[in-house]
């Protein structure tokens, strides 16, 4: 199975770019501009700005082919670690900004807070299930959104099941989170920004070094994260971007989210909200569930859906990826998918949604934003989710899903 990056660099893709029709590009751009102005007029400039940040995230995710799921799969199955090293770069850049800001407690006069949650049984189980779901569903939280926006209709099935799994998770997440756990712990608060940053950099370097060693030993060469070849303007418009550009781009997205929203980037809480609102509209009393009794969750359930920060950013990601796919002339929806792969999308989506609610978030909210907040639960999430991915990679062939391997 070719990756997005492989497809975009094929001779056919290059020829297609030259005949790019301006109509779809203008339509996608006009829609993005219209939504931006609508949010500014009806809700406020902050919501409009966060939508723009989501657009940027969609562009970065698509053009850099920056997938958490595929990066972990190729390392587990084939020992290629460029994607994993790019994630460490992303975390390092983000932490370099996050830790001092979170230590100060404010940014330009606005209070800020990190994603710091308990680390315990719920995180281990939830992240492990999420990891399996990543490989069966074909994407993580951000990956599902940008794949849907890019025209991957199998991922629409994953997204719908993701939403369903998220709602199911809210029904009994309180029981899971009552199981043994270490209280929320932030290295920034416990050790101070500088010590926390130094310790985090050591861990990032260790992960990168292990991936470098494994790849060099198995393949005799190491794929670069930084592309030193000249990047013309067409390359930046059509993609694919270097992995380093994707890593830095996503770091900028999270930093901008902290600046505007006062909290780090998240994705999956919106899925639970969408599903709960759908059930509420047909008479299911989700407001009586313990999860929705928390003041912040209850307020989100009662308010219009576009008032939700995460919802607006998720819409922006899908629309940004749609625009990027049109610019790359790769938006070509197809319903071709085997029954087994569609069944895997359903099961994977359910595991993704359920696991995210147990583990206080997904690869963005718990892993990326959790570690960027200095939270212990972010590192625990990474270990448990990686183990789940290892199981999911073994299950993929049974579900008519490919596993990338390099021919010797």
Burial class (CB in 10 A: 0-12, 13-18, 19+), 293: exposed
What pLDDT was estimated at residue 230? 58
12: pLDDT confidence band, cut at 50, 70 and 90? very low
* Closest of 246, 360, 350 to residue 4, by C-alpha: 246
For residue 120, the cross-strand partners are: 181
**Nearest 5°: phi and psi at 81?**
-120, 15
Question: Distance from CA of residue 6 to its chain's centroid?
Answer: 21
The tens digit of pLDDT for each residue in 315-357 reads: 999 999 888 888 777 777 766 778 899 999 999 999 999 999 9
The token pair at 353 is: 């949604």
The tens digit of pLDDT for each residue in 177-221 reads: 899 999 999 999 999 999 999 999 999 999 999 999 999 999 999
27: pLDDT confidence band, cut at 50, 70 and 90? confident
Strand-strand pairing, 119-120 and 110-111: unpaired
The token pair at 395 is: 């299950």
66: pLDDT confidence band, cut at 50, 70 and 90? confident
Given a contact cutoff of 8 angstroms between Cβ atoms, the answer to whether 61 and 54 are in contact is: no
Number of other residues whose CB lies within 10 A of the CB of residue 174: 14
Burial class (CB in 10 A: 0-12, 13-18, 19+), 285: exposed
Given a contact cutoff of 8 angstroms between Cβ atoms, the answer to whether 176 and 126 are in contact is: yes
* Closest of 382, 379, 314 to residue 61, by C-alpha: 314
Given a contact cutoff of 8 angstroms between Cβ atoms, the answer to whether 399 and 136 are in contact is: yes
DSSP 181: E
Contacts of 33 by beta carbon, 8 Å cutoff, 6+ apart: none
What pTM value is reported for the model?
0.91
What pLDDT was estimated at residue 18? 42
The tens digit of pLDDT for each residue in 93-102 reads: 999 999 999 9
């Amino acid at each position: 199975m070719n990756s997005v990056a492989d497809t975009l660099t094929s001779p056919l893709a290059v020829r297609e770019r030259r005949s790019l029709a301006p109509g779809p590009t203008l339509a996608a751009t006009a829609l993005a501009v219209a939504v931006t102005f609508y949010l500014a007029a009806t809700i406020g400039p902050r919501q409009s700005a966060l939508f723009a940040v989501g657009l940027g995230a969609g562009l970065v995710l698509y053009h850099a082919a920056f997938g958490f799921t595929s990066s972990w799969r190729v390392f587990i199955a084939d020992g290629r670690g460029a994607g994993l090293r790019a994630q460490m770069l992303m975390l390092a850049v983000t932490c370099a900004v996050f830790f001092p800001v979170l230590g100060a407690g404010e940014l330009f006069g606005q209070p800020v807070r990190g994603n710091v949650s308990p680390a315990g049984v719920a995180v281990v189980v939830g992240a492990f299930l999420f990891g399996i779901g990543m490989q069966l569903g074909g994407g993580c939280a951000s990956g599902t959104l940008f794949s849907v926006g890019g025209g991957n209709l199998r991922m629409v099935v994953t997204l719908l099941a993701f939403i369903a799994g998220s709602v199911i998770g809210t029904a009994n997440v309180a029981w899971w989170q009552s199981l043994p756990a270490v209280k929320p712990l932030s290295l920034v608060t416990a050790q101070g920004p500088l010590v926390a940053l130094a310790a985090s950099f050591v861990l990032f370097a260790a992960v990168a070094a292990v991936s470098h060693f494994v790849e060099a030993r198995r393949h005799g060469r190491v794929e670069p994260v930084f592309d030193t070849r000249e990047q013309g303007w067409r390359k930046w418009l059509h993609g694919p971007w270097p992995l380093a550009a994707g890593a830095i781009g996503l770091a900028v997205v999270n930093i901008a989210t902290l600046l505007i929203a006062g909290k780090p980037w998240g994705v999956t809480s919106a899925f639970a909200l969408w599903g709960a609102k759908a059930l509420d509209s047909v008479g299911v009393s989700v407001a009586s569930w313990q999860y929705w009794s928390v003041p912040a969750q209850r307020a989100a359930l009662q308010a219009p859906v576009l008032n939700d920060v995460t919802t607006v950013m998720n819409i922006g990601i899908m629309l940004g990826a749609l625009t990027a796919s049109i610019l790359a002339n790769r938006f070509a929806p197809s319903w071709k998918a085997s029954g087994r792969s569609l069944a895997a999308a359903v099961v994977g989506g359910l595991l993704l949604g359920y696991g995210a609610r147990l583990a206080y978030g997904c690869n963005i909210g718990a892993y990326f934003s959790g570690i960027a907040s200095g939270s212990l639960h972010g590192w625990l999430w990474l270990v448990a989710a990686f183990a789940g991915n290892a199981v999911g990679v073994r299950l993929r062939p049974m579900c008519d899903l490919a596993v990338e391997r390099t021919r010797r």
